[in-house]
Chain A
Amino acid sequence: MSTLVEMRSLKKNFGGIKALQDVNLEIAAGEIHGLLGENGAGKSTLMRILCGLEIPDEGMIRVEGSEVAIHKPADAQALGIGMIPQELILIDGMSVTENIFLGYEKCSRFGVLDQKQMRTRAHELLDSLGSGDIDPDMFIGLLPKADQQIVAIARRILQGGKVFIMDEPTSALTEKETEKLFKVIRTICGEGNAVVFISHRLEEVLEICSRFTILRDGKNVASIPNGPEVTKRDLIAHMIGNDIEEEFPHTAAEPGDKVLEVANLSFTTSQGREVKDVNFHVRAGEVVGITGLVGVGKTELSQTLMGLRRSTGGSIYIRGKEKKIHSPVKAVRNGLGYVTEDRRGEGLVLGLRSLYNMTLGSLARIVRGIVIKLRYERKIGLDYASRLNMKPEYVNLEARKLSGGNQQKVVVIRQMMGDADVILFDEPTKGIDVGAKAEIARLISSLSGEQKGICIFSSEPREILGVSDRIYVLNNQGFVGPYERGDLDYKQLMAIEFGESRTTGV
């Protein structure tokens, strides 16, 4: 087999973070190459480089033997390399034919479209992929997801694509649709093309890939051919390596009453998958961690609890009473607080001083009549800031000027001042540097010390293991748990996240 693409000694830094360190990747013609690794191992960065969306700091790329420079998406496309992305880049309001030919329209003179020929060609192309049932005149937005992906593949083939990069292509598909897609993938690889397949679903990866390259912390750890002897366990072992425990401060508080209980809740993820039978509870003074791989539905679960997303069944009890939560206003009135993943966008009013951001949700308690008691506001702001190791001068700064860690503190202080009994954190340390992460963890623990119930939704296993009193896992089989603190180590948790073992905890 000839080598189609060869990436050598690639390096890429983002700020101080080493995303890729001397990474190599070889893709041969006709192979379905599985690129594996944990969240943040460097898979996406590597593929973004190959597609011209990111420029490497160092390293070399060869395509069919000759060295190439890929600086923009058009360069990669000219070389036959393209991504079939997770969020499909198709235009909903246009037809299948129009999407397939976008940028490559067949025209007579003066740019007049030859619509008949394009339509026929589109049908032939889809037919050759075993998908002749897709109507070339249908609007893309009305097709099922798998068919949309097939259209995206057809488009790449038409554009002379040889290397197809597919990032989590099956995450939104049903089993049947997945089979249909796999058939198409095998067809195109049989013709001397190659597919780079990125997926967290290890069963699928084992089923379809001919070779694996595994990354960890931005480095190559293994490159192995697939075969009957390769197991899921092997892949996981390569992906997580030897775990080093990180220190997370943890203050165990005496847990009180159940403040939040969720019974048989079901909801739909943004990719349209239904998650059923979610059962868990949070006591006052307790930290509950809910984890799982990216895209499995953690954020959607937190949104369902906050009334931002409709539940499709089940009940939510707050302090023992069943509550119907249809909107965030209701959620807040019932004692739920929410710290979103997108602090800058949704959590903070960036142009306001930190102090005003802190008191935004609890102004009712610091007013006399309609006038805010400014001196009192400042006093309690400074008080909370000092408890969280935040410098007093930051209190008067505009929120936009603070670092990510300090912004997170402001949002947390707002929740501490508020009346919430239960505070939900969605990815609390995302985008925060390592030092500040431990501090946020300490913060969360201190909140639990105030007899608040804390619920963390996070993709970072170490964070979850470090701060949680109890852990639940969302994986492709459903909602698993509880696991008490100390029940799980890193490897066991990852195994559950990948759906490798279903051992239920105590």
Chain B
Amino acid sequence: MLGTIRKSLAGRTLDRYRGVIISLIVINLFFTFASEYYFSVYNMMNILDHSAISLILSIGMVFVLASGGIDLSVGSTLAFTGIIAALLFVHGVPTLVAMIIAILVGIGIGLINGLVISHYKLQPFIVTLAMLSIVRGLALVFSGGNPIIGMPAGFLAFFAGDSLIGNGIFIALGMTLAAAFVLEKTRFGTYVKALGGSEEATFLVGVKTSTIKISVYIISGFCAVMASFLFMAGMDAAEPIAGLTTEWMEAIAAPIIGGNSLDGGKAYVLGAVLGVLILSCIKSGLNMMGVGQHYQQIAIGSVIVAAVILDSLRRKI
């Protein structure tokens, strides 16, 4: 009786992501024909390397989206915590201590987001939009508007590495696996999805919904700091204007492209990974074809609109 038409895990996964996987293949085929440089080991490594930062931000966003929220402030948090860490580095604070302080600042920003949203029952959109502005301002004030250069050697070695493919992508993959485990296999993960599915129902079974809500913004803040470390290692500098435009938008767009919903209740980590890859491939391909940065923004925006339209069609069926 049980599980009459149960499919294997792989089968169900393929079903869910069929559209995204096909899109990814089509995009790659297109660029392979459009540019002779696109499909090379070097470029593929490069794409993975460049995906790491977006991937980490997206992983945090999957938690927030699953709970029915959104976090617009991740790009600013990335910049500000980077500035904090870099200032501490240049003032001779031990690397590890500086990093821990930066992580605490990121968690603190998430905590404030979560507290304000859950305590005053406000829209996450407007609260995190305000936070975006505040934290960006702080980053500019603390840095005086200038980049801070000269990262410690140990820091660079850990986050950048010196091989063709940086360490970043491995850190990102580790975080992805951890996130998938938490969302699929733990009580906390179940509550995050339940909260997004129906806040009332979750509250009525006695779950502390406010705690769950605050936690997802903390996770998002933490992810922003980790992304920031990768960014700094890649540039050998902290930038007050880092994550200003595309990064935070991609962090929201990638999970949505991968089947996560702005309505909450779903958490597809693998979807977010595929979403990040789609965006990275498009950016890299357009670069190879010699399409300028400005046009790339238009292309990315169009992809996001297309993904959201597809998502709404999928929900109607």
Interface residues of A (CB under 8 A from B): 73-74, 77, 89-94, 98, 102-105, 107, 110-113, 115, 123, 132-133, 135-137, 155, 159
Please tell me if the beta carbons of B204 and A89 are within 8 angstroms of each other in the complex: yes
Closest residue on chain B to residue A91 by CB atoms: B197
Inter-chain CB contacts under 8 Å: number? 71
Please tell me if the beta carbons of A92 and B197 are within 8 angstroms of each other in the complex: yes
Closest residue on chain B to residue A106 by CB atoms: B187
Please tell me if the beta carbons of B186 and A91 are within 8 angstroms of each other in the complex: no
Please tell me if the beta carbons of A112 and B194 are within 8 angstroms of each other in the complex: no
Please tell me if the beta carbons of B190 and A74 are within 8 angstroms of each other in the complex: no
Those of B106-152 within 8 Å (CB) of chain A: none
Please tell me if the beta carbons of A94 and B197 are within 8 angstroms of each other in the complex: yes
Please tell me if the beta carbons of A105 and B201 are within 8 angstroms of each other in the complex: no
Q: In the bound complex, what is the Cα–Cα distance between A506 and B174 (angstroms)? A: 78
| Known A102-B190, A137-B3, A137-B6; contact A89-B185, beta-carbon cutoff 8 A | no
User: 9 new A-B pairs (CB below 8 Å) besides A89-B204, A98-B194, A103-B207?
Assistant: A77-B205, A89-B200, A94-B193, A102-B190, A102-B194, A103-B206, A110-B186, A112-B186, A113-B185
Those of B190-204 within 8 Å (CB) of chain A: 190, 193-194, 197-198, 200-204
| B4 contacts partner chain A, Cβ-Cβ < 8 Å | yes
Q: Which residues of A contact B6 (CB under 8 A)?
A: 137
| B188 contacts partner chain A, Cβ-Cβ < 8 Å | yes
| Known A89-B198, A132-B1; contact A113-B187, beta-carbon cutoff 8 A | yes
Q: In the bound complex, what is the Cα–Cα distance between A133 and B3 (angstroms)? A: 10
Ordered by A's residue number, 28 sampled pairs between the chains whose C-beta atoms are within 8 Å are A73-B203, A73-B206, A74-B206, A77-B205, A89-B201, A89-B204, A90-B201, A91-B197, A91-B202, A91-B265, A92-B197, A92-B198, A94-B194, A94-B197, A98-B190, A98-B194, A102-B202, A102-B207, A103-B205, A103-B207, A104-B205, A105-B187, A107-B187, A111-B186, A113-B187, A133-B1, A135-B3, A137-B6
Q: In the bound complex, what is the Cα–Cα distance between A110 and B188 (angstroms)? A: 10
Q: In the bound complex, what is the Cα–Cα distance between A93 and B201 (angstroms)? A: 12
| B50 contacts partner chain A, Cβ-Cβ < 8 Å | no
Closest residue on chain B to residue A141 by CB atoms: B197
Q: Which residues of A contact B193 (CB under 8 A)?
A: 91, 93-94
| B2 contacts partner chain A, Cβ-Cβ < 8 Å | yes
Least CB distance from A457 to B in Å reads: 28
Least CB distance from B191 to A in Å reads: 8
Return the CB mask of B1-37 against A: 1 if under 8 Å, else 0: 1111010000000000000000000000000000000
Q: Which residues of B contact A110 (CB under 8 A)?
A: 186
Those of B202-218 within 8 Å (CB) of chain A: 202-207
Those of B157-174 within 8 Å (CB) of chain A: none
Please tell me if the beta carbons of A136 and B2 are within 8 angstroms of each other in the complex: yes
Q: Which residues of A contact B205 (CB under 8 A)?
A: 77, 102-104, 155, 159
Q: In the bound complex, what is the Cα–Cα distance between A73 and B186 (angstroms)? A: 25
| B283 contacts partner chain A, Cβ-Cβ < 8 Å | no
Q: Which residues of A contact B197 (CB under 8 A)?
A: 91-94
Please tell me if the beta carbons of A113 and B190 are within 8 angstroms of each other in the complex: yes
Q: In the bound complex, what is the Cα–Cα distance between A257 and B265 (angstroms)? A: 54
Q: In the bound complex, what is the Cα–Cα distance between A89 and B202 (angstroms)? A: 9
Closest residue on chain B to residue A110 by CB atoms: B186
Least CB distance from B220 to A in Å reads: 20
Q: Which residues of A contact B207 (CB under 8 A)?
A: 102-103
Least CB distance from A36 to B in Å reads: 26
Q: In the bound complex, what is the Cα–Cα distance between A77 and B207 (angstroms)? A: 12
Please tell me if the beta carbons of B2 and A112 are within 8 angstroms of each other in the complex: no
Least CB distance from B201 to A in Å reads: 4
Please tell me if the beta carbons of A113 and B186 are within 8 angstroms of each other in the complex: yes
Among A102, A111, A123, A159, chain B packs the most CB atoms within 10 A around the CB of A102
| Known A91-B194, A137-B6; contact A102-B186, beta-carbon cutoff 8 A | no
Please tell me if the beta carbons of B4 and A135 are within 8 angstroms of each other in the complex: yes
Closest residue on chain A to residue B201 by CB atoms: A89
Q: Which residues of A contact B188 (CB under 8 A)?
A: 111
Q: In the bound complex, what is the Cα–Cα distance between A155 and B203 (angstroms)? A: 15
Among A90, A132, A135, chain B packs the most CB atoms within 10 A around the CB of A135
Least CB distance from B267 to A in Å reads: 10
Closest residue on chain A to residue B189 by CB atoms: A113
Least CB distance from B284 to A in Å reads: 34
Least CB distance from A71 to B in Å reads: 14
Q: Which residues of A contact B265 (CB under 8 A)?
A: 91, 93-94
Least CB distance from B261 to A in Å reads: 9
Q: Which residues of A contact B203 (CB under 8 A)?
A: 73
Least CB distance from B195 to A in Å reads: 9
Q: Which residues of B contact A123 (CB under 8 A)?
A: 2
Q: In the bound complex, what is the Cα–Cα distance between A92 and B200 (angstroms)? A: 13
Please tell me if the beta carbons of B204 and A73 are within 8 angstroms of each other in the complex: yes
| Known A98-B190, A105-B190, A132-B1; contact A112-B204, beta-carbon cutoff 8 A | no
Q: Which residues of A contact B185 (CB under 8 A)?
A: 112-113, 115
Least CB distance from A97 to B in Å reads: 10
Least CB distance from A195 to B in Å reads: 19
Q: Which residues of A contact B4 (CB under 8 A)?
A: 135
Q: In the bound complex, what is the Cα–Cα distance between A123 and B200 (angstroms)? A: 26
Q: In the bound complex, what is the Cα–Cα distance between A93 and B186 (angstroms)? A: 17
Q: Which residues of B contact A98 (CB under 8 A)?
A: 190, 194
Q: Which residues of A contact B202 (CB under 8 A)?
A: 91, 102-103
Q: In the bound complex, what is the Cα–Cα distance between A137 and B1 (angstroms)? A: 12
Q: Which residues of A contact B201 (CB under 8 A)?
A: 89-91, 102
Q: In the bound complex, what is the Cα–Cα distance between A89 and B185 (angstroms)? A: 23
Q: In the bound complex, what is the Cα–Cα distance between A90 and B202 (angstroms)? A: 9
Q: Which residues of B contact A137 (CB under 8 A)?
A: 2-3, 6
Please tell me if the beta carbons of B206 and A77 are within 8 angstroms of each other in the complex: yes
Q: In the bound complex, what is the Cα–Cα distance between A102 and B199 (angstroms)? A: 12
Least CB distance from B100 to A in Å reads: 22
Closest residue on chain B to residue A120 by CB atoms: B2
* Top 4 A-B residue pairs of the complex, sorted by shortest distance between their CB atoms: A103-B205, A91-B197, A89-B201, A111-B187
Q: In the bound complex, what is the Cα–Cα distance between A73 and B200 (angstroms)? A: 11
Q: In the bound complex, what is the Cα–Cα distance between A124 and B201 (angstroms)? A: 24
Q: Which residues of A contact B3 (CB under 8 A)?
A: 135, 137
